Structures are given as structure tokens and as C-alpha cells.
Amino acid sequence: MSPAATNKTTTLLRLARKGPVRARDLDDAGIPRAYLKRLCDRGLLDQVDRGLYRLADAPVT
């Protein structure tokens, strides 16, 4: 994985630690929305609803 991709992945995971992430939140961070699918495929994020994601190990509230 390239350093730029690692940085975007880290940034996205940092956002997800704060709470649910919406696809539109990535626009402000400059992260392509494709990273959501990649992290879901790797098991790091779960898609809760359409356009809404959370960390896979986050507690359900």
C-alpha cells in the first residue's frame, strides 16, 4: 500500500473512532469514497445503513 493510501486509511479510521461516518464526511477530508468499500472488505468497517458506516468493533448503541 502506498504512503498516501495509508495516510487516507488512517484518517478514515480516525474519523470512524469518533462515531459513525457518512460517505459525505469523506469529501471534507479529501478521501475518495472507494475507501469505504475497501475497509468494509477488509473487515475494518461495517455498513450500518445506506451511506452510514461504523468501526467493525464499535459497540452498538
Q: What is the pLDDT of residues 11-47, one digit of tens each?
A: 999 999 999 999 899 988 899 999 999 999 999 999 9
CB burial of residue 57 (10 Å; 0-12, 13-18, 19+): exposed
Q: What is the pLDDT of residue 34?
A: 93
Closest CA to 34 of 23, 45, 48, 20: 23
How large is the average pLDDT for residues 50-58? Answer: 91
DSSP 8-state symbol, 4: H
β-strand pairing of 52-55 with 45-49? antiparallel
Residues 16, 54 contacting (CB under 8 angstroms): yes
